[in-house]
Amino acid sequence: MSSAEYSPGRDLYDAPHLARNSANFAALSPLGFLSRTAAIYPDKTAIIHDAARLTYAQFYQRCRKFADALRRRGIGRSDTVAVLAPNVPALLEAHYGVPMAGAVLNALNYRLDARSIAFILDHSQAKLLIADREFAPIVAEALAELRTPIPLVEIDDGIGGSSLGGTEYEAFLAEGDPAAAWSGPQDEWAPITLNYTSGTTGNPKGVVYHHRGAFLNAIGNAITFGLDQRSAYLWTLPMFHCNGWTYTWAVTAMAGTHVCLRRVDSSAIFAAIAEHRVTHLCGAPIVLNMLVHAPDAVKRHFDHVVEVATGGAAPPSAVIEAMERMGFRVTHLYGLTESYGPSTVCAWQDEWSGLALPERAALMARQGVNYLTLDHQRVVEPQTMADAPADGSTLGELVLRSNTLMKGYLKNPASTEEAFAGGWFHTGDLAVCHPDGYVEIKDRSKDIIISGGENISSLEVEDALYRHPQIMEAAVVARPDPVWGESPCAFITLKPETAPVTADEIIAWCRANLAHYKVPRTIVFGPLPKTSTGKIQKFELRERAKELSA
């Protein structure tokens, strides 16, 4: 008999020998995806970037060098490494190399101005900046503003751009040993990345991700989007945005091929689909709209179905319809930076296949049900936290509870506490729950228009505008109104080379398609301001609408 005697306790399953041990419990981390795939498919193409190809063996080797190069520079546990780059291989490698050294990756939004970049580098106490030479001017300006200077590594993949005297990226990798040992985190709760929100209402907040959440959300993506080793994933979504919604790890997990893309334009996207037989891509609805309105000369024929996941804003049903006509299959996702990107999906129901396209597109424009890896979502009355009835009309706040939520905001306990008040994460999005359990976002709390005491969903008015044959883009915000409190004000971009349309004609169109109190009272034509992730900057439009009333 061994020394480990069984002695019956009060709880049948709460026995010491049934406790976790190092054989049956390991920290969840997406880092193991790369070593596993490299071991199974060493020669498979992992990354395509212009004419360059990297196999999974090479990808893994480069990431090990990356981690060791950081270690040799004294960078490790709890240090932040910032990367400012478009969707090039170096940024993908950073998603493994940085956490393999125990450090935390902060992928920066390259459309930020120098002051915001300097703010973030200071705030995150970054120990190293790796920047693409394309952004040399803004990097020089940001570095000059820093309170504590930091070393620079420069990515130069032949596109040009001037050097600021930093170490070239390949030379930096060469500082590391590909055979150096590395290990995953001891604790799955360890930080893996830091992602700043856009900070439309003040300084940006640094959202801290953990290894466990990154592992789970990546698995959720792989399953939801149907990735496998035949998948070719085109990098149209910025990797700096929620780590590419965690597809940086999901595609590797499934041994798919990452197709990098320095610049997101319709001709490069169609060319990649045709040449690399891209099977999956993600993007904000604005990217879909760009494909829909691409000139005919740029559009390429392809004979396979391309899966497109869209989110970040609700896709107008007209955009879903037009994408389907071109051979794309659209999946609608919803999420936030705090939820590692996607947290809900408009899960497909077979009976929808028999519906006419406009009806189907309207159902698909809903944000849907919780991701496989998201524990709970509810629509609640924010004061009492009581569930809103599933009647498709009672507005409440969408709240989430999940292993795939951030640890919290870096150096910001007050905002963290507020976000998690009452044991739920508050999205700040207003939604209804339909009788079939599908959730539909009506607005961000701050975007809802309250006119004569009635709530008007800006998204609903926008959807009606997008159905107008001559409108390419539309955004609706509240304009201060002396009688109604607020009234809807529509900012509109017309399709190129379309016949002129008057504001009265647009208003007449809305009257025919919307309840009359929802019809915009003001129409403004012109280009729309966008955020770095392709979202229309409503806060700026609100300012413009306010000026109209001043």
Q: What is the nearest approach in angstroms of ligand ADP to the Cβ of residue 334?
A: 4
Report the residue from 111, 444, 495, 546 that binds ligand ADP according to the rule CB under 6 A.
444
Q: What is the nearest approach in angstroms of ligand ADP to the Cβ of residue 11?
A: 43
Report the residue from 311, 316, 396, 520 that binds ligand ADP according to the rule CB under 6 A.
311
Q: What is the nearest approach in angstroms of ligand ADP to the Cβ of residue 332?
A: 6
Q: What is the nearest approach in angstroms of ligand ADP to the Cβ of residue 99?
A: 21
Taking CB atoms, the residue at the shortest distance from ligand ADP is: 198
Q: With contacts defined by CB under 6 A, name the span among 129-137, 149-157, 226-234, 330-338 that binds ligand ADP.
A: 330-338
Q: What is the nearest approach in angstroms of ligand ADP to the Cβ of residue 343?
A: 9
Report the residue from 94, 232, 314, 489 that binds ligand ADP according to the rule CB under 6 A.
314
In Å, how far are 14, 222, 233, 259, 445 from 280, measured between CA atoms? Answer: 46, 11, 5, 10, 32
With 0-12 / 13-18 / 19 or more C-beta atoms within 10 angstroms meaning exposed / middle / buried, residue 471 is buried
Tell me how many residues contact ligand ADP (CB under 6 A): 18
Any contact of residue 288 with ligand ADP (CB under 6 A)? no
Buried-exposed string 334-371: b where 16+ CB fall within 10 A, e elsewhere: bbbbbbbbbbbbbeeeeeeeeeeeeebbebbbbbbbbb
Nearer to ligand ADP, 38 or 431 (CB): 431
Any contact of residue 173 with ligand ADP (CB under 6 A)? no
Q: With contacts defined by CB under 6 A, name the span among 65-73, 169-177, 311-319, 510-518 that binds ligand ADP.
A: 311-319
Nearer to ligand ADP, 186 or 455 (CB): 455
In Å, how far are 16, 212, 330, 441 from 19, measured between CA atoms? Answer: 5, 20, 45, 43
Nearer to ligand ADP, 56 or 334 (CB): 334
Distance CA 375, CA 433 (A): 17
Q: What is the nearest approach in angstroms of ligand ADP to the Cβ of residue 284?
A: 8
Nearest to 525 by CA among 549, 488, 497, 495: 495
Any contact of residue 283 with ligand ADP (CB under 6 A)? no
* DSSP per position, 157-197: SSS-----S-EEHHHHHHTS-TT------SSTTSEEEEEE-
Nearer to ligand ADP, 96 or 334 (CB): 334
* Cα dihedral 239, 242, 244, 247 sign: positive
Residue listed under structure tokens 């971009």:
493
Any contact of residue 286 with ligand ADP (CB under 6 A)? no
Any contact of residue 334 with ligand ADP (CB under 6 A)? yes
Q: Which of residues 342-381 bind ligand ADP (CB under 6 A)?
A: 367
Any contact of residue 405 with ligand ADP (CB under 6 A)? no
The answer to whether 79 and 104 are in contact (CB under 8 A) is yes
Report the residue from 61, 231, 236, 337 that binds ligand ADP according to the rule CB under 6 A.
337
Any contact of residue 313 with ligand ADP (CB under 6 A)? yes
Nearer to ligand ADP, 99 or 311 (CB): 311
Q: With contacts defined by CB under 6 A, name the span among 32-40, 267-275, 354-362, 421-429 that binds ligand ADP.
A: 421-429
- Other beta carbons within 10 angstroms of residue 88's beta carbon come to 24
Any contact of residue 408 with ligand ADP (CB under 6 A)? no
Q: With contacts defined by CB under 6 A, name the span among 182-190, 308-316, 430-438, 487-495 that binds ligand ADP.
A: 308-316
Report the residue from 37, 87, 124, 197 that binds ligand ADP according to the rule CB under 6 A.
197
Residues pairing with 398 in the sheet: 379
Residue listed under structure tokens 């709390």:
445
Nearer to ligand ADP, 25 or 352 (CB): 352
Nearer to ligand ADP, 154 or 429 (CB): 429
Helices 31-40 & 89-100 angle (0-180, nearest 10): 110
User: What is the DSSP secondary structure assignment for residue 153, as one 8-state letter?
Assistant: E
Nearer to ligand ADP, 249 or 340 (CB): 340
Any contact of residue 206 with ligand ADP (CB under 6 A)? no
Distance CA 145, CA 206 (A): 20
Consecutive H or E run containing 246: none
Q: What is the nearest approach in angstroms of ligand ADP to the Cβ of residue 285?
A: 8
Nearer to ligand ADP, 262 or 446 (CB): 446
Residue listed under structure tokens 């994408």:
323
Report the residue from 80, 193, 252, 427 that binds ligand ADP according to the rule CB under 6 A.
427
The answer to whether 153 and 130 are in contact (CB under 8 A) is yes
Q: What is the nearest approach in angstroms of ligand ADP to the Cβ of residue 335?
A: 6
Helices 317-325 & 458-466 angle (0-180, nearest 10): 40
Distance CA 7, CA 533 (A): 60
Q: Give the N- to C-terminal CA distance of the chain in Å, as an integer.
A: 88
Distance CA 285, CA 231 (A): 22
Tokens of 348: 């497909």
The answer to whether 176 and 64 are in contact (CB under 8 A) is yes
Q: What is the nearest approach in angstroms of ligand ADP to the Cβ of residue 306?
A: 19
- List contacts with ligand ADP (CB under 6 A): 197-198, 311-314, 332, 334-337, 367, 427-429, 441, 444, 535
